[in-house]
A and B are shown apart, each in its own frame.
Chain A
Amino acid sequence: MSHVSENDLVLLYYGELPDHGKAAGHLEKCAQCRAEYERLKRLLATVGSVQVPEWSGNHIDALWNRLRPRLEIRPEKPRVILMPARRWAMAAAIAAGLLIAFMLGRYWSRPQFETATVPGGSIRERILLVAVGDHLERSQMMLLELVNAQGDGMVDIASEQVRAQDLVADNRLYRQTAARDGDAAVAGVLDQLERILLEIAHGPSQMPSQKFKALRRSIEAQGIILKVRLVGARARQFDRPPVRDSIRPSI
């Protein structure tokens, strides 16, 4: 068996390595991997050895004194507590009522007036905007972490790359839906974002700092983070309960 990778050692430490037995068996035989695992355990034990500062009675008092004036008295909700037999009787009555209503609805002539309906397009648009808002927030976080990545000589963007790969498929779907719904502004930003996501997803996971700086300059020059932030903020404004005849957002 080849040596256990550094990442697998981390998973082994946390008990999340699927092939746990195989790796553990290898470690018993391989001094090199065992030494590596011991180093990892020492490191993580050192990180874990730092104690959390004392937080006790005085802190609780202080916290409570800050919280108490902000707590409103909660109105008690009326509760209906029924005996089991009465519950069954009520359930049977409701079921019977529903059945009668259903039968009447089937055989009664339909009313001649039109009922007010929420335009399907508005609902679809609102759902899209809420979903796009979440997607843009995740994209923004990834891009912020990417442009802030640092490294001596080589810059490691493996984590951002994996996230970009995950985001690409969602982005494509949202872009196509936005374009189909005629949201040119949202579709435009998603299109620009998709190009950058693809560039990150298909590029190297580690790159020399010069190349990384060029990528960062490209992202910054396009102002994509600001655009994503603005469209995302606008989209999140629509994260409210649906209303009838909602006004079409003009993004």
Chain B
Amino acid sequence: MIGENPPQHANLPASIPSKERMDGCDAAIVEQIRAGDVDAFRDLVSRHGRTVYSMAYRMTGNEHDAEDVVQETFMKAYQQMDRFESRSSFGTWLHRIGINCALDVLRTRKSRQEVAGPQDPESLQALDSLSSNDPSPDILAHDCEVREHVTKAMDCLTANERAAFVLRHFQDMPIREIGGVLGLKERATKVTIFRAVQKLRRTLEPLIGELR
């Protein structure tokens, strides 16, 4: 039936250990760290690094910023380890820290763009290159071209639009929860997501036939 297919999310690890088992292991590692075993923290980095990186890359759109977000996330998690309650999921707790770190990066980047001026040349260039009518179809057929166009389209979104879209589309976070993360009411969160999708449509839809 239409509308009953859940969105297909790319980049989920091929084999994910059961949540209970994962949480149990995480809780044991957290106890080790609390007992003073600093090196046990490496196990948490190994277990959750890829997931945090994936979210950070989606949010920031580039590897360099994503690496920074991952580092900052684990650093904060370590510093705030006493605040973590073992009965909750470490992965969820870490993820929330990561989202806030990524938001800081997005907002700082937005402020830098503001200092540079409202007519940010990179953003305008991105739009221009997307709306131009002369991309060669044979070049657009390549995966790297799809990536390039999607990346540029995502770069046209504001910090909040990007964050809201990524959290809904890739992280499967409910709209109400996204509003909590972004400090928006539910209605405003919906409008932010709608506008992100509209912008993506406007820039990508003319190319989709050629991209496929």
A, B: real partners? yes
Which residues of A lie under 8 Å from residue B118 when comparing CB positions? 147-148, 216
Residue B46 is within 8 A (CB to CB) of chain A in the complex = yes
Q: Which residues between 51 and 98 of chain B lie within 8 Å of chain A, taking CB atoms?
A: 53-54, 57-58, 63, 67, 70-71, 74-75, 78, 81-82
A141, B3: Cβ atoms closer than 8 Å: no
A60 to chain B, nearest CB (A): 5
Residue A49 is within 8 A (CB to CB) of chain B in the complex = yes
Q: Which label, helix, strand, loop or mixed, suits the secondary structure of the B interface?
A: helix
CB closest chain-A residue, reference B74? A67
Tell me the bound Cα distance from A20 to B82 in angstroms: 43
A12 to chain B, nearest CB (A): 5
Which residues of A lie under 8 Å from residue B204 when comparing CB positions? 43, 46-47
Residue B198 is within 8 A (CB to CB) of chain A in the complex = yes
CB closest chain-A residue, reference B113? A148
A74, B36: Cβ atoms closer than 8 Å: yes
CB closest chain-B residue, reference A12? B3
A71, B34: Cβ atoms closer than 8 Å: no
Total interface residues on B, using CB and 8 Å?
80
User: When each residue 152-191 of chain A gets 1 if its CB lies under 8 Å from chain B and 0 otherwise, what string results?
Assistant: 0000101100110010000000000000000000000000
User: When each residue 36-66 of chain A gets 1 if its CB lies under 8 Å from chain B and 0 otherwise, what string results?
Assistant: 0101101111111111110110011001101
User: Which residue of A43, A49, A75 is within 8 Å of B10 (Cβ)?
Assistant: A49
Total interface residues on A, using CB and 8 Å?
64
A59, B49: Cβ atoms closer than 8 Å: yes
Residue B4 is within 8 A (CB to CB) of chain A in the complex = yes
Which residues of A lie under 8 Å from residue B184 when comparing CB positions? 163, 166
User: Which residue of A12, A20, A71, A158 is within 8 Å of B191 (Cβ)?
Assistant: A158
A71, B71: Cβ atoms closer than 8 Å: no
Binds B, one of A23-31, A106-114, A116-124, A232-240: A23-31
A44, B70: Cβ atoms closer than 8 Å: no
Q: Which residues between 195 and 212 of chain B lie within 8 Å of chain A, taking CB atoms?
A: 195, 197-198, 200-201, 204-205, 208, 211-212
B150, A46: Cβ atoms closer than 8 Å: yes
B103 to chain A, nearest CB (A): 10
Tell me the bound Cα distance from A148 to B38 in angstroms: 45
Which residues of B lie under 8 Å from residue A56 when comparing CB positions? 50
- By a beta-carbon cutoff of 8 Å, the part of chain B in contact with chain A is 1-4, 6-11, 33-36, 38-39, 41-42, 45-46, 49-50, 53-54, 57-58, 63, 67, 70-71, 74-75, 78, 81-82, 107, 110-111, 113-114, 118, 120, 123-124, 127, 146-147, 150-151, 153-154, 158-161, 168-170, 174-175, 183-185, 187-188, 190-195, 197-198, 200-201, 204-205, 208, 211-212
- By a beta-carbon cutoff of 8 Å, the part of chain A in contact with chain B is 6-7, 10-17, 20, 23-24, 27-28, 34, 37, 39-40, 42-53, 55-56, 59-60, 63-64, 66-68, 70-77, 134, 138, 141, 144-145, 147-150, 156, 158-159, 162-163, 166, 216
